[in-house]
Chains A and B, each alone.
Chain A
């Protein structure tokens, strides 16, 4: 074996910058690693401890929310590859994110949060001053104090609007440059006018001062903006982690038997790649030697590792669990199935981005009407001979009183109420406009494994197995993390059998477990072959039921078969029936084999089903439904569903789904039941109804106030009362949603 060629990215950089390689002590380098399976505080602590004690590492900081670790290390003593290897030995799957721009989302988040904090401070203090002035209007506040309060408000409001209002001004400017109108155009205009006119009125010592309105508007709108942004940056971070999983280092075996380490990007078809136990496979290809269990959950969503040997296909992104294998690559880098799924998801996501939200649709209608009314007011007063100053003041007060407070709150208030209602009932909405799209669906497409079914095997013939045998098998099984083994332990526990873990159990990769008893006999739990059963001696019943695990107490004694099923979720049939009785079409589109899909469809009461669908075929099915005029809700969990989830009009995934699928979908369904899907659709529909109601309230308010404002009758007190009243009514209306009884 030749020596390993070790060029890490840092070394390449040093060569470029001409920094001498051997100058001690070297400048520490930083690496950011994505850790796929860091899920809890325990994982986080373990990672920090493992890396903290490794040689050459200066500091470690794990971030659980982002599933990332930042490591500072001495490039002379260690490298990213060694660090990834150290983590792999500790059971963590890590990938280097060095080549991605990783900070963007976070920075935008912090920026919004800073602006939000400033607006919050300003809104609270200006409100304090304003309430005093309002109270003063009714009692005995003298003009000087009132003026002082107005000047103080101006002093706080001007820098705040200039700083905190920037996101709206920028967005409005971008929209206007493209000759479009969005909600930010009327918002920016109202902000500028309210602040500008208040300043003029403060200088003139008048009562028409609205600093409180403009600053609270900025504050409330920034809250919504921040929530939206943090959802999106979380999605972006998870996508970057996924891209990171495609990169790494692989051992390539040359024809003469020598091997060298290569970055995954440099791999190509025809190369032979050696994959050690616990390593990720970076190419699509065929196994040429070795036998191992392959964890394909990232690709198929299937929780049971597949045992693969010579000639079997493996895919990039899967993990070789048990023993080293040699893979001949058929596709690498950007041609792999994983890369294709990522690409499909991105295109589908872009298409969805074209959806115009209800609020923006309203703005496209609202903004021109309001601006025309302002203009008519100005021209009207000029024509009536009111003078340009009077005409301008009245026109501006029309624009301010129509300031889209209620309109800007109409949809967000309902969304917050709907989201918190769904949260309490087990659905977490992740897309900002997800509820609006859920309201429009008329067809539901389910995936099978992990969505309609529980996604984990259950022992189905537990009743036919004696307690003794179950206890003995479970004792062996406690030593394995294989889903079948865990199903056996679970079945034993639920029957009240005491499971005593045994020592000396050996796991043979892809075959089963064995234990040498004191008497010299050997118990075995595993595949038929492992327990010495030939294919011909398996009973017809076991073959048909798909028995996949056998237990043999000693050599030569008869073996017991364990049959497993991936059972439907308890309320699957009920949920399908409810959806159908509400007039929604229900389909089953699965990547699984025909028999299994047909069986699940029959049990769940679904008439239209499609089996053996690849990710792009799933999208094709959705497109076909779309072409037939249907609006589709996709419910799925595997990475193979992710493109379809992104492509569908609306989508939900169970909490057990792979992270990429959760990110691709609009909401996540918690718990073991499917009923929250019905609730989500019902709430989505009610949300749309409520939003329209709120628009109507805002319109009614405008219908009363605009004529008054145009006639010049609006005093600050009337404006303050009218503006807060409309916002309060809209918010209170939205809150009804949290307790309303809903039916689909």
Chain B
């Protein structure tokens, strides 16, 4: 029985972590431009503007 007391909360916490990570990714706009992101990863240029602005841009 003690095994259950550990395993069930562990399963729930891990699930919630995954859910939290997904919702975070969604809120910060990780899924907004799926086509563009595929190219951006190849882009080794300097960011066009101050890197700090990017997060703000996506939040909108």
B53 and A152 contact, CB distance less than 8 A: no
B42 and A41 contact, CB distance less than 8 A: yes
Distance in Å from the Cβ of B18 to the closest Cβ of chain A? 7
Instruction: Kindly state whether residue A495 has any CB partner on chain B within 8 Å.
Output: no
Kindly supply a per-residue 1/0 record for chain A positions 121-163, scoring 1 wherever the CB is within 8 Å of any chain B CB and 0 otherwise. 1001100110000000000000001000000100010000000
Kindly supply a per-residue 1/0 record for chain A positions 99-124, scoring 1 wherever the CB is within 8 Å of any chain B CB and 0 otherwise. 00000001000100110011011001
Instruction: Specify which of B26, B48, B56, B58 is in contact with A51 (CB 8 Å cutoff).
Output: B48
Kindly list chain A residues whose C-beta atoms are within 8 Å of the C-beta of B54: 59, 61
Of the listed stretches A64-72, A323-331, A433-441, A479-487, chain B binds A64-72
Please, how many angstroms separate the alpha-carbon atoms of A145 and B56 in the complex? 49
Instruction: Kindly state whether residue A343 has any CB partner on chain B within 8 Å.
Output: no
A121 and B33 contact, CB distance less than 8 A: no
Kindly list chain A residues whose C-beta atoms are within 8 Å of the C-beta of B40: 41, 44
Kindly list chain B residues whose C-beta atoms are within 8 Å of the C-beta of A70: 57, 60
Interface residues of B in 34-58 (CB under 8 A from A): 34-36, 38-40, 42-43, 45, 48-50, 53-54, 56-58
B38 and A125 contact, CB distance less than 8 A: no
Instruction: Kindly state whether residue A48 has any CB partner on chain B within 8 Å.
Output: yes
- A45 with B39: in contact, given A59-B57, A117-B19, A125-B15 (CB under 8 Å)? yes
Kindly list chain B residues whose C-beta atoms are within 8 Å of the C-beta of A121: 15-16, 18-19
A45 and B43 contact, CB distance less than 8 A: yes
Please, how many angstroms separate the alpha-carbon atoms of A117 and B35 in the complex? 22
Q: How many A residues, CB 8 Å from partner?
A: 38
- A117 with B22: in contact, given A58-B49, A58-B53, A65-B32 (CB under 8 Å)? yes
Kindly list chain A residues whose C-beta atoms are within 8 Å of the C-beta of B56: 59
Instruction: Specify which of A51, A63, A145 is in contact with B32 (CB 8 Å cutoff).
Output: A63
CB closest residue in chain B, given A103: B60
Q: A45-B43, A62-B36, A64-B36 are in contact. List 4 more A-B contacts (CB 8 A).
A: A41-B43, A65-B32, A65-B36, A66-B32
- Please name the 10 residue pairs, one residue from A and one from B, whose CB atoms are nearest each other, closest first: A41-B39, A52-B48, A64-B36, A59-B53, A48-B48, A121-B19, A63-B33, A64-B35, A59-B49, A61-B57
Instruction: Specify which of A72, A118, A129 is in contact with B53 (CB 8 Å cutoff).
Output: A72
Kindly list chain B residues whose C-beta atoms are within 8 Å of the C-beta of A44: 36, 39-40
Kindly supply a per-residue 1/0 record for chain B positions 1-45, scoring 1 wherever the CB is within 8 Å of any chain A CB and 0 otherwise. 100100010011001101100110010000111111011101101
Q: Which chain B residues have a beta carbon within 8 Å of chain A's beta carbons? A: 1, 4, 8, 11-12, 15-16, 18-19, 22-23, 26, 31-36, 38-40, 42-43, 45, 48-50, 53-54, 56-58, 60
Kindly list chain A residues whose C-beta atoms are within 8 Å of the C-beta of B58: 61
Instruction: Specify which of B8, B26, B36, B42 is in contact with A117 (CB 8 Å cutoff).
Output: B26
Instruction: Specify which of B12, B31, B50, B60 is in contact with A113 (CB 8 Å cutoff).
Output: B31
- A65 with B49: in contact, given A59-B57, A145-B4 (CB under 8 Å)? no
Please, how many angstroms separate the alpha-carbon atoms of A60 and B15 in the complex? 36
Please, how many angstroms separate the alpha-carbon atoms of A59 and B11 in the complex? 42
Kindly list chain A residues whose C-beta atoms are within 8 Å of the C-beta of B33: 62-66
- A49 with B48: in contact, given A61-B54, A110-B26, A118-B19 (CB under 8 Å)? yes
Could you show 24 A-B contacts with beta carbons less than 8 Å apart?
A41-B40, A44-B39, A44-B40, A45-B43, A49-B45, A49-B48, A57-B49, A59-B54, A59-B57, A62-B33, A63-B36, A64-B35, A64-B39, A65-B33, A65-B36, A110-B26, A113-B26, A117-B19, A117-B22, A121-B18, A121-B19, A125-B11, A128-B11, A129-B8
B8 and A65 contact, CB distance less than 8 A: no
Distance in Å from the Cβ of B56 to the closest Cβ of chain A? 8
Question: B-side binding surface: helix, strand, loop or mixed?
Answer: helix
Kindly list chain A residues whose C-beta atoms are within 8 Å of the C-beta of B16: 121
Instruction: Kindly state whether residue A40 has any CB partner on chain B within 8 Å.
Output: yes
Please, how many angstroms separate the alpha-carbon atoms of A328 and B34 in the complex? 43
Distance in Å from the Cβ of B55 to the closest Cβ of chain A? 11
Please, how many angstroms separate the alpha-carbon atoms of A106 and B26 in the complex? 11
Kindly list chain B residues whose C-beta atoms are within 8 Å of the C-beta of A51: 48
Kindly supply a per-residue 1/0 record for chain A positions 420-434, scoring 1 wherever the CB is within 8 Å of any chain B CB and 0 otherwise. 000000000000000
Kindly list chain A residues whose C-beta atoms are within 8 Å of the C-beta of B34: 65
Kindly list chain A residues whose C-beta atoms are within 8 Å of the C-beta of B8: 129, 152
Please, how many angstroms separate the alpha-carbon atoms of A62 and B43 in the complex? 13
Please, how many angstroms separate the alpha-carbon atoms of A60 and B50 in the complex? 10
B36 and A125 contact, CB distance less than 8 A: no
Distance in Å from the Cβ of B33 to the closest Cβ of chain A? 4
Please, how many angstroms separate the alpha-carbon atoms of A422 and B40 in the complex? 30
Kindly list chain A residues whose C-beta atoms are within 8 Å of the C-beta of B39: 40-42, 44-45, 64
Please, how many angstroms separate the alpha-carbon atoms of A60 and B51 in the complex? 11
Please, how many angstroms separate the alpha-carbon atoms of A51 and B53 in the complex? 15
Please, how many angstroms separate the alpha-carbon atoms of A129 and B15 in the complex? 13
Please, how many angstroms separate the alpha-carbon atoms of A223 and B15 in the complex? 19
Instruction: Specify which of A60, A110, A124, A156 is in contact with B48 (CB 8 Å cutoff).
Output: A60
Please, how many angstroms separate the alpha-carbon atoms of A92 and B12 in the complex? 50
- A65 with B35: in contact, given A41-B40, A58-B53 (CB under 8 Å)? yes
Distance in Å from the Cβ of A544 to the closest Cβ of chain B? 46
Distance in Å from the Cβ of B29 to the closest Cβ of chain A? 9
CB closest residue in chain B, given A45: B43
B23, B31, B33, B50: most-surrounded residue (chain A CB, <10 A)? B33
Kindly list chain B residues whose C-beta atoms are within 8 Å of the C-beta of A113: 26, 31
Please, how many angstroms separate the alpha-carbon atoms of A114 and B31 in the complex? 12
CB closest residue in chain B, given A53: B48
Please, how many angstroms separate the alpha-carbon atoms of A129 and B12 in the complex? 11
Kindly list chain A residues whose C-beta atoms are within 8 Å of the C-beta of B57: 59, 61, 70, 72
A42, A62, A156: most-surrounded residue (chain B CB, <10 A)? A62
Please, how many angstroms separate the alpha-carbon atoms of A64 and B49 in the complex? 18
Kindly list chain B residues whose C-beta atoms are within 8 Å of the C-beta of A49: 45, 48
Kindly list chain A residues whose C-beta atoms are within 8 Å of the C-beta of B42: 41
Kindly list chain B residues whose C-beta atoms are within 8 Å of the C-beta of A66: 32-33
A65, A120, A145: most-surrounded residue (chain B CB, <10 A)? A65
CB closest residue in chain B, given A111: B26
Kindly list chain B residues whose C-beta atoms are within 8 Å of the C-beta of A30: 60
B15 and A124 contact, CB distance less than 8 A: yes
CB closest residue in chain A, given B49: A59
Distance in Å from the Cβ of B37 to the closest Cβ of chain A? 8
Please, how many angstroms separate the alpha-carbon atoms of A430 and B45 in the complex? 35
Distance in Å from the Cβ of B19 to the closest Cβ of chain A? 4
Interface residues of A in 69-89 (CB under 8 A from B): 70, 72
Please, how many angstroms separate the alpha-carbon atoms of A193 and B36 in the complex? 44
B23 and A114 contact, CB distance less than 8 A: yes
B49 and A60 contact, CB distance less than 8 A: yes
B36, B43, B60: most-surrounded residue (chain A CB, <10 A)? B36
Please, how many angstroms separate the alpha-carbon atoms of A114 and B49 in the complex? 31
